[in-house]
Amino acid sequence: MSNPTYVPFSMMGPEQKTKIDKAINHALDSLEAIHAAPHAAKENLMKTEFKVAAVELSFVGKILQAESAMVQAITVMADRAGKSEDFRSMIAENLPQIQLPTAKKLKA
């Protein structure tokens, strides 16, 4: 069930994506085992495997949520920077690590 496209994180390298994909696959395999287990074994699996799978999937969900929030914030900042010179100057003064492209004015 391995699928390296599970993790669309933009700031992770291939090694980290592989680790996250492995954790996702492990969690999904655990859930599949719980579903396929006989009724007598499900209670034990819920106490052990399900707790681990839930933590793994929760961790991945938090990373995805943070990535999504970062992309949304950058999009909003870029939109505002393009519309407002005051906002552009505020970014330039307070957040020097963000490089804003300067508009080149044509000579008349």
Question: CB 91: neighbour CB atoms within 10 A?
Answer: 18
pLDDT tens-place string over residues 6-18:
445 556 677 877 8
Sign of CA dihedral 25, 27, 33, 35: negative
Residues in the chain: 108
- What's the mean pLDDT in 1-29? 71
Sorted by where each begins, the domain ranges of the chain are 12-94
Cα separation, 33 vs 17, whole angstroms: 24
pLDDT tens-place string over residues 55-94:
988 988 888 788 777 777 777 777 776 677 777 777 777 7
